[in-house]
Amino acid sequence: MYKRQHDYLYVTVTGRNDWTSTIPTERNSFFYPGVTSSFVFTDAFPTIGKFMTGKLRAAYAEVGNDARPYAYRPALEFKTTSNGGYGYGFTGPNLALRPEFATSYETGTELGFFDDRIGLDLTVYRKEKTDQIVNDIRGSYGTGFILFNLNGAATRNEGFEATLRATPIEQRGFSWDVLANFERARGTVLALPNALPESYVSDTWLYGNVRNGVQPGLSTRALTGLFYLRDTIAGSRKMLIDPTTGLPLRSTAFIDGGYDRQPDFTVGLTNTVRFRNLTMSALLDFRKGGDVFNATEHFLTSRGLSNRTLDRNTPRVIEGVLRDGRENTANPTPNNIVVVPAVQTGFYSGISEELFIEKDINWVRLRDVTVRYTLPGRYFKARDASMYITGTDLFVYSNYSGLDPIVNGNTAAVGGSGGAGIDFGNFPMPRGYAVGFKLGY
């Protein structure tokens, strides 16, 4: 018997050099290589190939990026203050600007069993950005400027993705396909330029005193804010209370509160069932974990419009310890000051956004469902014809108290981790229905 020998090992090497005008000329040329490889082990070892198909993949790539135009040298602006004249704009010079680099590693496998009726793709990746250019990061005005474009941030994104394909039933006139995607991604900020304590995308500071501030060691999707001050005793974290008002004290600096908008994992599940001329497919979306800031509720509460302010005449003592100098000792003074929110309006007007960041928000949502009927016979000389009805976002089950936790308080264009998970007056995904008639030629 003749047996064809397959190729089973592939290696691709790439190299690329960029020259850019947006980096100072002495550093404006940069080279970056990449290599990808795959090993079809079921072809290499035909004894295994009898039972399955399988491939191992591995890739390494570097990618360099330049800066935005005019990022490193400031220009003077005409000033609109008295009698005109010129002065620098907010952004200071950075003649040391250099390209940023990303190094990524990826490895995975593609497996198929039972004549590919079950398939499994697994991918593990890690991408580290170094010398990352942070645009418009602030610094002390002691520099003479307010904003800078700086190298020096480092972030790491890593994750695991799995795709399972299966066709549990395949008979004449009846089949069932399942496609499941699992994704777990993690982003961590490793460093910020010049050891600055925090960086944030100012467009995400869209409500109150919470923003997508990142600090080294935190998730790229962290939130910083003027959260409540707490005692520094390990494991205690009791709120500090102002002894003159009985209300909790808030930080005057943007601090980390342990929040992360990144979900633990997401799963997308597509089921497709065919029965004779009828096809039904549905995409279910699952998410586990990840925090959502319900700014709408904070807005309503601080103005006394939320239902949670209905008990405003009820006297209460906020749990915490008085900031009387003993708050960080073994014997702090428990707060015993009674406040009535209806009288002490600071109870609501000064309430921290912290209480409205909802932790570990999960959901199950029906992204879309389509029922399609393939018409027998020919219509209008079409190759095939079908009628369908589609519904999108028909339901969502979530432990989120607001309208829909999928919100993004801004658009993807703001950069960074954006305004995802910041819900300020956002509308939920609309339910959609569509009925259609399709002709294929």
CB of 322 to other proteins, least distance (A): 12
**CA distances (Å), origin 145, targets 88, 92, 243:** 8, 5, 40
Residues in touch with other proteins (CB under 8 A): 19-22, 24-25, 28-29, 70, 72-90, 92-94, 138-146, 148, 193-198, 209, 226, 242, 244-245, 250-254
Residue 133: strand, helix, or coil: strand
CB of 247 to other proteins, least distance (A): 10
When the beta carbons of 145 and 207 are compared against other proteins, the nearer one is 145
CB of 19 to other proteins, least distance (A): 5
| Amino acid in position 208 | G
CB of 204 to other proteins, least distance (A): 16
For residue 288, list its beta bridge partners.
265
Total H helices, total E strands in the chain:
4, 25
Distance CA 365, CA 21 (A): 47
Q: Which residue has the tokens 């819900």?
A: 423
When the beta carbons of 194 and 236 are compared against other proteins, the nearer one is 194
When the beta carbons of 72 and 363 are compared against other proteins, the nearer one is 72
CB of 229 to other proteins, least distance (A): 10
Q: How many CA atoms lie within 13 A of 122 on its CB side?
A: 6
E strands, 289-403, are 292-294, 316-317, 321-322, 338-339, 357-358, 363-374, 384-392, 396-398
CB of 260 to other proteins, least distance (A): 22
When the beta carbons of 154 and 226 are compared against other proteins, the nearer one is 226
When the beta carbons of 221 and 323 are compared against other proteins, the nearer one is 323
Residue 307: strand, helix, or coil: helix
When the beta carbons of 33 and 144 are compared against other proteins, the nearer one is 144
Question: Which candidate, 150, 183, 159, places its Cα nearest to that of 71?
Answer: 150
